Structure 1
Amino acid sequence: MKVITDLLKGFINRSGFYIFSTTILSRILSFIASWIALQLLDHSELGVILLAFNIISFIIPIGGLGLHQSLIRYGAQLIDDKEKNDLFVYVLKRGIVVSIVLIVVLIIVSYFINFSFPNTQYYLVILSFSIIPFFLFEIVKIQFRLRFENRMYALLELSYNILFVAGVLVLTTVFKEDGYVLAIIVVPLITSLLFIKKLNINFKNNNKLSFTNLIFWKYGFFASLSNVVTQLLFVIDILLIGYLLNDPKMVTNYKYITLIPFSLLFLPNVFITTDFVEFTQRINDKKYIKRYIKGYLYFFVMISVIIISIFSILSKWLLLIFDEKLVQFNNIFLVLTLGVTGILIFRGLFGNLLSSIGKAHINYYIASIALILNILSNFYLIPHYGILGAAITSSVLMWLTGLFSLLFFYKFYYLEN
């Protein structure tokens, strides 16, 4: 169909293939870095570091109070590069100050938490300083996207992952656990500093744009909160399985069963990363947005049908890659795959379109309600159906959140605009 051809042509013209390739390579490099750490560090101590970093990972999205989210949404609506640069400087300066406050609060709170494992607080305190490097890294990436320099964005992402592998190898070899923690903090900072000079921004500017008001800050805050709650949706199943079944083997089984279906979520992310600035800049062009939606839906319905067809045939073989004992759970694998297609088709697109029209808080409300429903449903389904119950809950909610994103976008964009 022509709408699919136009979608893919626009994707390629905006250097989408570079982002796609970089995403694949980055996942491979991330795996290599994890493997190196596993070989060089004591597994128990590494587990404590990963636990501490998982906690920080939920806080990183709200680094700078989500100002990076405001940067990409409001920056995409600016035409003049000077205004985009002024907005970048505003976000950078305020974001770092807010991040410092966040780090101080996190460190203070950590002293009142009774951690189960030794050294957890030590690593948590040190890793809290990664909030600023990751905030800087994120806004530099966003600025390249705002300039439609997706190749530079891809190069930045790839450079980070290459440097991270090198950093983990060298620093972990020399300083062991502290070296691994240091690599997590230092690599995004070094990468950002190497690329930020390519933006040619005058950091002495203190020009405040008219829209950098409470609404601007509120948008970023809710957009970042939405990301945090969405992350929780992907880990709550694991936590509830462990709590309700009290069987570590079932936790492990479910974790590995979800690996392949959840890995498919990079597909809509690649398209949105490539196209978000474009369709946000043209959000008032309803003819363009309608055509983009049509092409996106047709393409991902087709992709979803292909995925379900292939996985229906090969599910047992795919699970056999991890462990022959997982083959018995192929029905759960297929249920999760079906659920993921709901995100591929609806949530990935309409959640971001809601952000484009300034309704990031709606995404937060949808994700929060889904999280509550997930907990309530799993408290019934997991005891009765085991990990199949968790898979059913997640799959249904993946579709429901996507459909509600569609309905709210239609309401705000077509009925109320």
Structure 2
Amino acid sequence: MKSLKDFLRNFFNNSGHYVFLSFLIAKICGFAGSLLIIRLLPEKEFGILSIALSVVAIFLPFTGFGSSQSLMRYGSIASGEDEKQKLSSYFFFKGIFFEMILLIVFLTISLFYLNKYEDIFLIFVFCTIRLGGFYFVNHIQSFYRITAKNQTFARISNVTNIGGLLLILILTYFFKVYGYLIAIAITPYLSLFWLKKDMYSFSKFIPGQYKEYWSYGMFTAATSLISDTLFSLDILLLGFFSNESMVANYRVAILIPSNITFLAISFMQSDFPVLSKNYQNKSFLTSYLINFHKIFLPVCAGIFIFFYLFKSYILQFFFGETYMDNTTLFMILLTGFNLGMLTRNLYGNLLPAVGKIEINTWISLGSLILLSVMAYILIPMYGVIGMGIAMSFTILISGIAYLFFFFLYLKKLS
């Protein structure tokens, strides 16, 4: 894979474009679903529901105790179809056992809210069903990814996301909050139409390196949770050090910059099984880096120039005249996330692919500390602009850290 032409040909031959489009559709459906419940549900019901969904978001990365993440990584490395099926069977049954423990803990948390919020236990019950469904979604999709059936993976993703959005629209419109709860509980189980015997036929198989496999899965889950926390911490810090007006302006300014990173993330996720399979191939990894930059350097430059030229019009069109004064903050954040695609998103996805997920965990923890310190210093001095600088600086420094450790790994390869 020396040339850009070969790089793109391999991407399309591997049906990577299907995976890329499925991530885009998932993002659009998620955004549309959020808008629907805001408009269709009363404020009180939406608030209570948001509490339960926030707890779901914390538990979601730990679905099956990281079984699907481990399957993705080690199933991609496995040499033959028989070995892939054995690994799938092992993680399928072990994952279900761990998932049951997770669901019991999740449901137990609802007891802390019983005296404060009406009907919240019922909401947690539906969310428990949804959380259990995501175990099957993740495992089934991982199986199709490791067996190079990206088109099937994309089809499952599209059916669950588009089907879920339609269910939310119809059931919430007619049955309000209970309709919404039924819709989100049913949606993940649409993936069961693609459940095959090949995924669980070796029920008694136990791999020799199972401790390493589960360690990888748990580190991946922890890293995902910490990374998500980074993009909640900025709002919490700004709210603590300033006021609700600054928070509103910051949320508007960061919405577009934070979402452009899906371009790099989706691209990397499309190639994750191939990268995992070639984790010891120095020439392949080096060539991949070169070709990635050939694509995304022009993309990032184009994004920056476009938004720089039309920043005022874009803010006015999407958010109204009230938020037009946020052009400076918008460009600071855009610069940070744009550079993040070339560093944080690239090397932060390469490290798990080569089995160095624990590095991501520690860098993510360090990022939380760095963001907190920077916000503490800069918000009192520069207000909301200070928060923008703190976030962009944190993204850049964490990206450089990922780059440093990946090149250390690359240097050690023969």
Question: Above 0.5 in TM-score?
Answer: yes
Structure 1 residue 88, shift from structure 2 partner = 1.3
1:251 aligns with 2:220: no
Cα shift readout 1:152-204 (whole Å, capped 9, x = no counterpart): 11111110112102221333244321221222122101x2211113x743535
- Equivalent position amino acid for 2:13 in 1: N
**Aligned residue for 2:82?**
82
Distance 1:383 1:48, change over 3 A: farther
Cα shift readout 1:196-251 (whole Å, capped 9, x = no counterpart): 13x74353532122222x22111110111001100011111111112221x22322
**Aligned residue for 1:226?**
223
1:92 aligns with 2:88: no
How many angstroms apart in 2 are the aligned matches of 1:92 and 1:115? 37
**Aligned residue for 2:144?**
144
Write out aligned runs for 1:171-210 (5 A).
171-189=171-189, 191-197=190-196, 200-203=198-201, 205-210=203-208
Where 1:79 maps in the other structure, the secondary structure is coil
Structure 1 residue 125, shift from structure 2 partner = 4.9
How many angstroms apart in 1 are the aligned matches of 2:355 and 2:160? 30
- Equivalent position amino acid for 1:31 in 2: F
How many angstroms apart in 2 are the aligned matches of 1:259 and 1:103? 32
Where 2:207 maps in the other structure, the secondary structure is coil
TM-score (normalizing by structure 1):
0.93
TM-score (normalizing by structure 2):
0.93
Where 2:209 maps in the other structure, the secondary structure is coil
* 8 Å Cα contact 2:90/2:202 also seen in 1: no
How many angstroms apart in 1 are the aligned matches of 2:254 and 2:99? 33
Structure 1 residue 262, shift from structure 2 partner = 1.1
* 8 Å Cα contact 1:51/1:120 also seen in 2: no
How many angstroms apart in 2 are the aligned matches of 1:141 and 1:217? 19
Q: How many residues matched? A: 413
Cα shift readout 1:276-330 (whole Å, capped 9, x = no counterpart): 1011101222111110111112322221111111111111111112121211111
Distance 1:387 1:122, change over 3 A: farther
Structure 1 residue 113, shift from structure 2 partner = 5.8
CA RMSD of aligned residues (A): 2.2
Distance 1:27 1:388, change over 3 A: same
**Aligned residue for 2:390?**
393
Distance 1:301 1:37, change over 3 A: same
1:279 aligns with 2:275: yes
Structure 1 residue 119, shift from structure 2 partner = 4.9
**Aligned residue for 1:288?**
284
Distance 1:374 1:115, change over 3 A: farther
Structure 1 residue 115, shift from structure 2 partner = 8.7
1:7 aligns with 2:7: yes
How many angstroms apart in 2 are the aligned matches of 1:109 and 1:50? 15
How many angstroms apart in 1 are the aligned matches of 2:54 and 2:41? 18
Task: Identify unmatched segments of 5+ residues in structure 2.
Answer: none
How many angstroms apart in 1 are the aligned matches of 2:3 and 2:323? 40
How many angstroms apart in 2 are the aligned matches of 1:115 and 1:390? 37
Task: Identify unmatched segments of 5+ residues in structure 1.
Answer: none
**Aligned residue for 1:305?**
301
Where 1:111 maps in the other structure, the secondary structure is helix
Sequence identity percentage: 28
